[in-house]
Amino acid sequence: MVMDINEIREYLPHRYPFLLVDRVTELTVGESIVAFKNVSINEPFFNGHFPHHPIMPGVLVVEALAQVCGILGFKTVNKLPADGYVYYLVGSDNVRFKRPVMPGDKLTLEANVIRGKRGIWKFACRATVDGELACEAEIICAERKVA
């Protein structure tokens, strides 16, 4: 299953400059997802992080991983933000950064379901660049109905 940016926008409420997923290349409902983010020097955060040595902030790498977790969660329960639901990032464990993410990198984002119960999901996540680990984390998301 592949998702282009138009379908991704149906499953994530995020918009520029905070939509951090460009394409989904693999998705197995209830199990796993593989997606990517093309990192460009045109990203607004590079103006200040850092002007003479631009690197993607680690918190945004974790956010990108959380966004793919949200897509997998929505696909698994067959709901959409348009139905009045959101997935909140509610926790992260064992976060480790192994290499910087820089302009020109293609950041591959992977998440595997560890468990899901009563709208709370835990995922094992990895972000890589050219097969090299950039970040790993366990991410917890919670499904919520919003008014």
Render pLDDT for 16-73 as a digit per residue (tens, 0 to 9): 999 999 999 999 999 999 999 999 999 999 999 999 999 999 999 999 999 999 999 9
Counting the structural domains of the chain, the total is 1
Q: Is the pLDDT of residue 125 over 70?
A: yes
0.95 surpassed by pTM:
yes
Write out the residue range of the structural domain in which residue 32 sits: 3-143
Residue 111: give its domain's CATH number. 3.10.129.10
pLDDT of residue 1: 61
Question: Does the annotation count 53 as an active-site position?
Answer: no
Catalytic residue (choose from 14, 49, 52, 53): 49
Cis peptide before 17 (omega within 30 of 0): yes
User: Could you read off the pLDDT of 71-117 as tens digits, one per residue?
Assistant: 999 999 999 999 999 999 999 999 999 999 999 999 999 999 999 99
> What is the pLDDT confidence band of residue 147, given thresholds at 50, 70 and 90?
confident
Long-range pairs of 122-131 with CB within 8 A, sequence gap ≥ 24: 123/65, 123/69, 123/72, 125/65, 125/68, 125/69, 127/61, 127/64, 127/65, 127/101, 129/99, 129/101, 129/105, 130/105, 130/106
